[in-house]
Amino acid sequence: MSKQKEELEHRLKLRNIKHSDFNDIREIMVSAYKTQGMTWTKEEFKNQLNAFPEGQICLEDNGKVVAVALSLIVDYAKYGDNHSYDQITGFGKFDTHDEEGDTLYGTDVFVDKEYRGLRLGRRLYDARKELCENLNLRSIIAGGRIPGYSKYADQMSPRKYIELVKNKEIFDPVLSFQLANEFHVRKVITKYLPEDTDSRAYATLLEWINIYYEKDEKLIGNKKTIVRLGLVQWKMRRFTDVDDLMQQVEFFVDTVSDYKSDFCLFPEFFNAPLLAEFNKMDASEAIRNLADYTEEIVNRMRDLALSYNVNIIAGSMPEYDGKKLRNVSYLCRRDGTMDKQYKLHITPDEQSYWGLQGGNGIKVFDTDAGKVGILICYDVEFPELSRILAEKEMDILFVPFWTDTKNAYLRVSTCAKSRAIENECYVAITGSVGNLPRVENMDIQHSQAAIYSPSDFSFPHDAIIAEASLNTETTIVADVDLDLLTKLRKAGSVRNLAQRRLDLYSIQWKNKR
């Protein structure tokens, strides 16, 4: 290999800074900053390394430092947003460094001018983010120079300049880079670096939020990030009575519990086989008689949730109070508490055969395995409902359904997958299979249970995490990662929730009761 070729080869290495690197770093700073007062002295450099060696990072090429990122940890509440560079760094002494602090404060990033264009700054920012995550700090905050502002200071305010940089109408060598690295501007601060004439002493207060930050982490009982879902694809068969039905219910609860599932989902109207007892009545009278069993079934499923340590979404069952017949899904938590969600939209068939009426409320349920929502069958075909739940930070949407034909099933499943993508959440659906002779309006079933995800690099390419065999009684058990949702919402390829044009449209829930 020729000597010339050796000189052209890069050998980049990311590492922590050493005391012996001062001359290399000083050379880069002098080149980067026109004002000598903005460069570190050797004593200040020594203080930085002694205070927080892990936070001082560099990239070397063939043994020479070519890019640098400096930082310290602070208790940010002590300084607030209206601080200066000297205040936050202790006038270069770094005696403000606090190992018990909650914020990684970035003091400097600079790159040798011969190495600009190689995106070394991005590598340093990524290393800082990794450090912030590993130290479980709330965020990275930095005061950012806006050196391009000097060209526009006579034409516009700093706020207007920053807005135009955000919109890529103006390029700023510092701010444009920081925005591209997932930092957002909290505010404009003045007199941050009085000697920074290019920025007219203004600066942007920038923040990158650590989405993995865990406050007051406990040894036990922490919020789960990996959640296991168990879905029951239920076969409609004749049952002699409630005990017979509950024997089959317990079998499936026991099965998914053996796999340490956090949730067990049953289909809509899974107790419909008991309608056979009333097959001599007309459909509307039969369904009201079926509602007499609901309270007993729910109480027994609550007991199963406790004894098998699994949260049960008890499909749905009819509820009749003597005036209104409604379709309701119960959440039986494994701590013994219960909640319920009414079906809001009633199909024309349900209305004409049974006289079902829709409920009037919707909510997100807190559980020990994330925030969940429940939409019964037809409701998932109305995108406004799941968007309202997503705005309440829902992680998992459960959809118990009953469909008789393939086209009906495809309506539900296609809409469910869409809800997962557009609301950046997981959606679990399950229905029933088989036949129920002599049960009017519930005679045939079609189902393929599934768990859907958003569609991005961290998720399956087809947005399907798991799928059951078609029209077969079975279960599916699969894990979903809630941290991936958090990451997607902050840094996904597309961000359906964050990028809504709320200046143009919104969804409003009108019922205040």
Residue from 92, 130, 125 nearest 111 by CA: 125
Amino acid type, 27 = E
Residues 37, 400: Cα–Cα separation, whole Å: 67
Helix (H, G, I), strand (E, B) or coil at 258: helix
Residue from 445, 409, 400, 466 nearest 266 by CA: 400
Residue from 415, 414, 413 nearest 429 by CA: 413
DSSP class of residue 225 equals S
Amino acid type, 190 = T
Which of these is catalytic: 343, 415, 425, 473?
Answer: 343
User: How many CB atoms are located within 10 Å of the residue 463 CB?
Assistant: 18
Residue from 414, 236, 284, 266 nearest 328 by CA: 266
Which of these is catalytic: 377, 415, 424, 425?
Answer: 377
Q: Which residue stretches of 84-174 are H helix? A: 85-89, 120-134, 158-166
User: Where are any strands of DSSP class E within 52-114?
Assistant: 57-61, 64-74, 103-111
Residues 487, 480: Cα–Cα separation, whole Å: 14
Residue from 388, 384, 428, 430 nearest 409 by CA: 430
343 is catalytic: yes
Residue 422, judged by CB atoms within 10 A of its CB (0-12, 13-18, 19+), counts as middle
3-state helix, strand, coil in the chain (%, to 5): 35, 25, 40
* Contacting residues for 453 by C-beta, under 8 A, at least 6 apart: 420, 426, 459, 460, 463, 464, 465, 480
Residue from 325, 316, 339, 320 nearest 270 by CA: 316
268 is catalytic: yes
* Contacting residues for 32 by C-beta, under 8 A, at least 6 apart: 110, 111, 113
Cβ proximity of 266 and 249 under 8 Å: yes
Which of these is catalytic: 268, 350, 424, 473?
Answer: 268
Cβ proximity of 104 and 47 under 8 Å: no
Rg (CA), the chain: 30
Residues 220, 300: Cα–Cα separation, whole Å: 29
Residues 500, 505: Cα–Cα separation, whole Å: 8
Which tokens sit at 282?
């007309």
CA 18 to chain centre: 39
Residues 224, 370: Cα–Cα separation, whole Å: 7
Residue from 299, 297, 301, 294 nearest 253 by CA: 301
- Point out the residues that are catalytic: 268, 343, 377
